[in-house]
Amino acid sequence: MAVITRFLLGCLNGTIGPIKAYATEIFREEHQALGLSTVSAAWGTGLIIGPALGGYLAQPAEKYPHIFPKGSFLDKFPYFLPCFVISGVSFVVLIACLWIPETLHNHNGCNADESIDDAVAIENGINKVDKEKTVQKNENLFMNWPLMSSIIVYCVFSLHEIAYQEVFSLWCVSPQSLGGLNFSTNDVGNVLTISGVALVIYQLSLYQYMEKACGPVGLAQIAGIFSIPILQSYPFIAMLSGIALYIVISIASILKNIISVTTITSLFLIQNRAVEQHQRGAANGICMTAISLFKAIGPASGGTILTWSQKRLDATFLP
């Protein structure tokens, strides 16, 4: 049942592709970094606040016995509350989508091509003289190397990111005897919440200027380089204790998540700039389909490696 539920959640979670295309189309090219950084900030914040919210709301009868007494409905079903809250959020999003205007308009009649050109010209800030030079091309997306190369990189990075998200929470709540931090679910929620706040501030205030200075490719490369020493520091962080541990792991989590959304947003920009407006929906659909395959094996592979490593703490090779 759990596998079926997870499968259905993945099948019905098709919003991120259209959202990326939408965010690109409502901004001119010079402001697309801000638009996509907003999407990445929302997505990254959701990945962080989601587990935190689940940690706060799961098993409410044990954490908040003065509100949810023993023997109550939520005591019998300790994970109903976070699922109910998440479903409520999804319902609110569904209602909000009814008022979102369409950006790609298909008109009937002799003015169809002209209307499409007008939309593209407005999007790119082209004046009426230059607008005549804008021509639609029905290019084979699979032969578009800038698009496909960015999708390949995004797929590999998504495997890394989803595995990290899976392992981080498990590592935090693992006992110190197994190399973990021995955190409670509330502690993990606090760390992730702090990371989420810092992530939003960074994406909405700094990313667009960094992208203009370095470009999306250069920024993704820099982020990839800096992620290596941060991840390598985690085993040493586990040796700390008390308030020092809490502060250092919060800083490390902030830096890691900033690096992740920097890479993701940069790849978003590359993908959406590699195709014309009328092909962005299809391009993002191909991207989300491809990364879903990698995300499917990410949690299982990450959890397996964590379990394997905890059984080999005293091994001489790959402890």
Q: How many CA atoms within 13 Å lie on the side-chain side of 277?
A: 26
Place of tokens 């990290």: 164
How does residue 228 score in pLDDT terms, banded at 50, 70 and 90?
A: very high
- Structure token digits, residue 249: 């792991």
Residue-wise over 203-238: b if at least 16 C-beta within 10 A, else e?
beeebbebbeebebeebbebbeeebeeeeeebeeeb
3-state secondary structure of 39: helix
Q: Are the CB atoms for 81 and 60 separated by under 8 Å? A: yes
The CA distance from 243 to 180, in Å, is 16
The tally of CA atoms less than 13 A away on the side-chain side of residue 284 is 23
Instruction: Please report where in the chains the tokens 């250069």 appear, as a residue.
Output: 218
* pLDDT greater at residue 31 or residue 44: 31
Report the percentage of the chain scoring pLDDT > 70.
82
Place of tokens 């084979």: 140
Q: In the chain, what are the domains?
A: 2-48+110-310 (1.20.1250)
Instruction: Decide if 275 contacts 135 (C-beta within 8 A).
Output: no
The answer to whether residues 267 and 217 touch, using CB atoms and an 8 Å cutoff, is no
Q: Judge whether 164 and 27 are in contact, CB under 8 Å.
A: no
- Interatomic CA distance for residues 44 and 162, integer angstroms: 11
Burial-class residue 45 by CB neighbours within 10 Å (0-12, 13-18, 19+): buried
- C-alpha–C-alpha distance, residues 31 and 212, integer Å: 10
Q: What is the mean pLDDT of residues 67-75?
A: 85
Which tens digits make up the pLDDT trace of 150-167?
A: 999 989 998 888 888 888
Question: What letters, b where the CB count within 10 A reaches 16 and e where it falls short, cover 287-297?
Answer: bbebbeebbee
Residue 102 DSSP label: P
pLDDT grade, residue 90 (50/70/90)?
Answer: confident
Full-model pTM = 0.71
Residues 6+ positions from 256 with CB-CB distance below 8 Å: 164, 227, 230, 231
| Distance separating alpha carbons of residues 245 and 190, to the nearest angstrom | 13
How does residue 221 score in pLDDT terms, banded at 50, 70 and 90?
very high
* 18, amino acid identity: P
If pLDDT is split at 50, 70 and 90, which confidence band does 212 have?
confident
The CA-CA-CA angle for residues 226, 232, 233, to 5°, reads 95
d(CA 294, CA 296): 5
